[in-house]
Chain A
Amino acid sequence: MDEIVAEYIRRTVLKIPRDEIKTMLQTWGFLSERQLQTLNFHQTKDNVSQDVAQLCEDNSVDIKQAAVLDIIYNHIYPNKRIWSVYQMNKTGEEMDFFDLTDFKKKFKRRLQSALKNVTINFREYEDNAIWIRIAWGTPYKKPNQYKTSYVVYHSQTPYVFISASVLRSTLPLLCQALVVASNYHDIREMELRSHCLNSLKDIVFKRYSQTFQTYCPRPLQERNVAPESVDLRIIQENRNEKERIQRVNREVFGDGPQPKLEFAQYKLETMFKSNPKMDVLDIKEPFRCLVKFSSPHLLESLKSLAPAGLADAPLSPLLTCIPQKARNYFKIRERKGIFPGSFVSP
């Protein structure tokens, strides 16, 4: 058993960039400062990881402690996983005090009553985020530590961020446990997915910069204004148009940095409108088509389209409504508009 745990630790350490290994082990706190001094962090990562694993094995580490190291790694590097956002719903107005111990107890009890072989770890962070790590097993096999799901929940908000593992079948169980533990009634998956967890939080918690019409505007931050060329022979031909584009862009996107999304997907089920003489499609059926925009930073690239002259300002509301509607997966049907996802109770 020790060897399996040690091997798990070794593989976790291998994922960490070499310069970060020492700090992360210190945060973990399982190995004392004195023991950390005995390790040589300047060797190859392979050797470092083996030394760490050996040291942990000598100190009889157990799986729960090893899981804490995994949580710490995933908290610092959350962008290696894809996160989906789920929204919980409750009827009634009870504003109950959120009790952390109660939440943890209920969650564990619910999950373990359905499936005995799970490893569950909790870790709380300063920004009121509760991180939950679950390693799944089956009724007959021990939990597989390499197939983990992560849940991030901020108390008193209806949103949960889940990074499911490959085992999608465990998702309903997880959702049910969350609903019960946090005193909500049901939960549904929002059409919002990304690698960048903080950006997802920014979108649903409305922490990104929005512009509102007001008489007392907040003072604008220093913008890098390119110095106007003093040479009077140079005239900006389209100055008015450029200023209009800047103004419209700022109204739509705001002044601050945009949340980071990697893609937006539009599933079109609309009729193909063609020249009747061309007669491409005889059948009067919706032309099914999928349009996917991908980018390292989708919203920033959309923001720079109009100023770069690649698109007209204002952009199509289908693109600009992404942060406000908190979704990046859309289904577009004929004339009826955009359909939201439906509520599913476990």
Chain B
Amino acid sequence: GVLSHLETLEARAHELALKQEETEQQEEKLARLKARVQELRLQRDELRAKVDLQQKRLLGKEGVMTSGVPDAAQPSDRAVLEWKIKTVQAMLQVFYLTGISGKLTKRGVCFCISTAYEGTYLDSYYVDLIIKPAVQIHRHSVPVFIPLEQLAKKYLQTDIKRFLSVLSDHLNAYVGRRYQADQLQEHFSDHLEGTLQRNSLCNVLAFNYNVSGKKETFLFSAKLLYGDLCRSLPTEAIISCTPDAPASLSEKTAAHSDVFRRVALHKAFNSFSSAEES
């Protein structure tokens, strides 16, 4: 009686659910195919527009524009314009990615120096120059500890290319050093005692560290000096051991100093950890 009735209802509900699923899948498939059709149509229109343009050029100035339904001319012009705009935008993007790009302004040029370190794009800095009466810097967003005035005095009047290239070196090196220090603090904080001491230019770093990464006594203390402001590797790495450290460790200070001078800071710690494991 009641139970068999319930069973039949259940069966019917199940059937309906299956049917609904099927129809949904069909609809999805249909939508996808429709989208694909749109895509292909758009491509076809673009190609048609290109072909039309080619043909028009071949016809040359003489002669009447052969028929061409006026409607066909409209979308082709527009499509070509869009294609041109995209190409130009891509070109500007490429210039931006190369690191130095610029735009003419009413009174001169505004240069944008975009910095990067090992594949990561970092900050952009702007220098707005005016050309008359002499080339001078109108505004800029360069941090105050980069010696901009000195570089300008040296190179701006005589060789703008050199000025931009040297400034770009300074800025890239600065963001590189800063990036390394940030990475060290973020990823290797268990190797460090406390925070790392640095200054505005990130050209003097001091920290205490150990090699194993566990919270034991921090046996090494390092002071890295970056003498060349256009480079992101230290010129001097002074490593010392605590006086009561075992002799085997104090021998390692020279090796460590060498590693710090050759390899980026965060990578240096990677090599220490792998050296320990091996």
Chain A positions within 8 Å of B, measured between CB atoms, are 93, 95, 97-99, 126, 128, 154-159, 204-206, 210, 212-216, 218, 324
Q: How distant is the Cα of A206 from the Cα of B123 in the complex, in angstroms?
A: 14
- Interface majority SS (helix, strand, loop, mixed), chain A: loop
Are A214 and B112 closer than 8 Å at their CB atoms? yes
Find A214's partner among B103, B200, B225 (CB 8 Å cutoff): B103
Cα of A158 to Cα of B146 in the assembled complex, Å: 11
- Cβ–Cβ contact A213 & B142, under 8 A: no
- CA distance in complex: A324, B137 (Å): 12
Residues of B within 8 A of A (CB): 92-93, 95-96, 101, 103, 105, 110, 112, 124, 126, 128, 139-145, 147, 150, 195, 198-201, 203-204, 225, 229
B92, B101, B124, B199: the one within 8 Å of A156 (CB): B199
- CA of A213 to CA of B111 in the docked complex: distance in angstroms? 9
A-B contact count (CB 8 A): 65
- A212 touching B144, Cβ below 8 Å: no
Enumerate chain A residues within 8 angstroms of B126, measured Cβ to Cβ.
210, 212, 214
Residues of A within 8 A of B201 (CB): 156
A193 vs B254: C-alpha distance in the bound complex, in angstroms?
A: 50
Could you tell me if A216 and B140 are in contact, using CB atoms closer than 8 angstroms? no
Pair A128/B105 contact, Cβ less than 8 Å: no
Known contacts A214-B126, A324-B139; is-contact A93 B200 (Cβ 8 Å): no
Asked if B147 and A155 sit within 8 Å, CB to CB, the answer is no
On whether the beta carbons of A98 and B103 are closer than 8 Å, the reply is no
Cα distance, A156 to B141, chains bound together (Å): 17
Do B144 and A205 touch across chains, with their CB atoms under 8 A apart?
Answer: yes
Which of B96, B141, B195, B229 meets A210, CB within 8 Å?
Answer: B141
Q: Which one of A155, A214, A218, A324 has the greatest number of beta carbons of chain B within 10 Å?
A: A214
B101 near A206: Cβ-Cβ < 8 Å: no
Contact of A213 among B105, B124, B200, B225 (CB under 8 A): B105
15 contacts between A and B (CB under 8 A): A95-B229, A97-B204, A98-B204, A156-B145, A157-B145, A204-B144, A205-B143, A206-B141, A210-B126, A213-B103, A213-B105, A213-B110, A214-B103, A214-B126, A215-B103
Interface centre among B95, B103, B195, B229 (most CB of A within 10 A): B103
Please report the C-alpha to C-alpha distance between residue A93 and residue B141 in the assembled complex, in whole angstroms.
Answer: 22
B48 to chain A, nearest CB (A): 31
Contact between A214 and B110 (Cβ–Cβ < 8 Å)?
yes
Residues of B within 8 A of A206 (CB): 140-144
Q: Could you tell me the distance in whole angstroms from the C-beta of B108 to the nearest C-beta in chain A?
A: 10
Please, which residues of chain A bring their CB within 8 A of the CB of B229?
95
Q: Which residues of A contact B112 (CB under 8 A)?
A: 212, 214, 216
Contacts of B93 in A (CB 8 A): 216
Closest to B154 in A: A93
Q: Which 5 A-B pairs have the closest CB atoms?
A: A212-B126, A156-B145, A216-B96, A156-B200, A215-B92
> Which A residue sits closest to B195, measured CB to CB?
A126
CB neighbours of B128 from chain A (8 A): 212-213
Task: Indicate if the CB atoms of A159 and B139 lie closer than 8 Å.
Answer: no
Report the Cα distance A158→B142, complex, angstroms.
14
Nearest B residue (CB) for A216? B96
A99 to B204, CA, bound (A): 9
* B226 CB to nearest A CB, Å: 9
Distance in angstroms between the alpha carbons of A210 and B128 in the assembled complex: 11
- CB pair A155–B199 under 8 Å, yes or no, is yes
A128 in contact with B140 (CB, 8 Å): no
B92 and A216 contacting across the interface, CB-CB below 8 Å: yes
Contacts of B225 in A (CB 8 A): 97
Q: How far is the CA of A157 from the CA of B96 in the complex (A)?
A: 29
Nearest-neighbour CB distance to chain A for B105, whole angstroms, equals 5
| Bound CA–CA A212/B93 (angstroms) | 17
Q: How far is the CB of B167 from chain A (nearest CB, A)?
A: 15
Nearest CB on A from B142, distance (A): 7
Task: Return the chain A residue nearest B104 by Cβ.
Answer: A213
A201 to chain B, nearest CB (A): 10
Chain B: minimal CB distance from A92 (Å): 10
